Amino acid sequence: MTVDLVTGARQALGPVGAFLPNIFGQPVPPAGVQVEAVQRLEEAGVRTAWNNEGVGGRDALVQLAVLLASTRRMTFAPAVANMWARPPETAHGGAALLAEAYPGRFVLGLGVGYAMHAELVGGSFDQPLSVARAYLERMDRAPAGMPIPPRTYARILAANGPRMTALAAEIADGAIPTVAPVAHTAWARGVLGPDKLLVVGLTAALDDDPERARALARRFVATTIAPNPWGAANLRRFGFGPEEVAAGSDRVVDAVVAHGGVDAILARVRAHLDAGADHVRLSLVVPDFGTGVDQLERVGPAFAAFAALADVAARPAAAVAVARGDV
């Protein structure tokens, strides 16, 4: 069953998707604004859209229910649905209903979040691996006297480090690493093996001016990666010292953030796919939701053309010949 779910998820997601702009500290856009945004992106050729959540405020699964109902063919997935935001039994029930209502258009990404999320609900973040294992096990176990819906959706786990990635290989359908160099993607594929789903989160600074693009990328590293211990720890495994991470060196910026015009961004997407990713989830460095949607709409046709070529390249030669009318 897991292999079938992974195969279905690969087909549903396609090779590249977009993270819906989510600016820390800014209010969540009204539902109508979000609906209009995803409808624009669907028309522009964006195949898959991702969201996320903390604890409190926006509910990721409810948000996706609204967006799924407002579109015709886009795939949606959380990266991630926070384990502290709802009990595992509730998470499975919600995900199962979305997968049933919108077959082939939903994948569930789960993550343990951060210590502050656990504290908000009176939990402990001392053992995140144990939390993740217990959560997924409870998702599969019916509460006493209650029927449990079948799992018809792929379930992937946010994982950057060795232990969480190994856990994803053991108990999930795949992993979602983020803010990592291409070498990390190759390493993660080696840990997961060929039969698991690997979704890579790639931050991108989109600007046709190379210097402006790199400046945006450097600002992201300085404000998001350098202050967080997990970012430095993950990069250290791939040869980046703590001093250069803290300083936001060119080597760090170039390794973890794609920057430049659309061709440069898609070249980095291709590098991750070649290293073993099934899907690359792009997160643009933007000042607000509207700017992010405008940028995604502008590059949507290029993403669609790239995805179409990648799909053809992944199909067996015989199938391609049939599709082209050669046989």
Residue 317 has pLDDT above 60, yes or no: no
User: Measured on CA atoms in the order 289, 293, 294, 295, is the torsion positive or negative?
Assistant: positive
CA distance 200 to 316: 24
156-175 per-position pLDDT tens digit: 999 999 999 999 999 999 99
Residue 262 has pLDDT above 80, yes or no: yes
Residue 218 has pLDDT above 50, yes or no: yes
Average pLDDT over residues 202-207: 98
| Pick from 11-15, 55-59, 118-122: least confident | 55-59
295-316 per-position pLDDT tens digit: 999 999 999 999 998 875 664 4
Residue 273 has pLDDT above 80, yes or no: yes
In a 3-state reduction of DSSP, which class is residue 158? strand
Q: Look at residue 299 in the predicted model and tell me its pLDDT.
A: 94
Contacts (Cβ under 8 Å, ≥6 apart) of 113: 54, 55, 80, 82, 83, 84
Average per-residue pLDDT in the chain? 93
Q: Look at residue 318 in the predicted model and tell me its pLDDT.
A: 34
CA distance 202 to 303: 14
CA distance 5 to 11: 10
| Pick from 203-207, 242-246, 286-290, 316-320: least confident | 316-320
Residue 257 is inside which H or E element, if any? Answer: strand 257-260
Report whether the peptide linkage leading into residue 62 is cis, meaning its omega lies within 30 degrees of zero. no
225-242 per-position pLDDT tens digit: 988 888 888 899 999 998
Numbers of helices and strands, H then E, in the chain = 15, 10
CB of 183 closer than 8 Å to CB of 163: no
Q: Look at residue 231 in the predicted model and tell me its pLDDT.
A: 82
Q: Look at residue 146 in the predicted model and tell me its pLDDT.
A: 85
Q: Look at residue 1 in the predicted model and tell me its pLDDT.
A: 53
DSSP 288: S
Architecture of the domain delimited by 2-324? Alpha-Beta Barrel (3.20)
Q: Look at residue 289 in the predicted model and tell me its pLDDT.
A: 97
Q: Look at residue 314 in the predicted model and tell me its pLDDT.
A: 63
How crowded is residue 308: how many other Cβ atoms within 10 Å of its Cβ?
14
Residue 298 CA to its chain's centroid (Å): 21
34-93 per-position pLDDT tens digit: 999 999 999 999 999 999 999 988 899 999 999 999 999 999 999 999 999 999 999 999
**Longest distance between any two alpha carbons in the chain, whole Å:** 63
Q: Look at residue 249 in the predicted model and tell me its pLDDT.
A: 94
| Orientation angle between helical segments 262-275 and 182-192, nearest 10 degrees | 30
Residue 225 has which token pair? 């990666």
CB of 10 closer than 8 Å to CB of 173: no
Amino acid identity, position 283:
S
The domain limits of the chain are: 2-324
Residue 7 has pLDDT above 60, yes or no: yes
Average pLDDT over residues 130-151: 92
Residue 72 CA to its chain's centroid (Å): 21
pTM of the model: 0.94
Q: Look at residue 83 in the predicted model and tell me its pLDDT.
A: 98
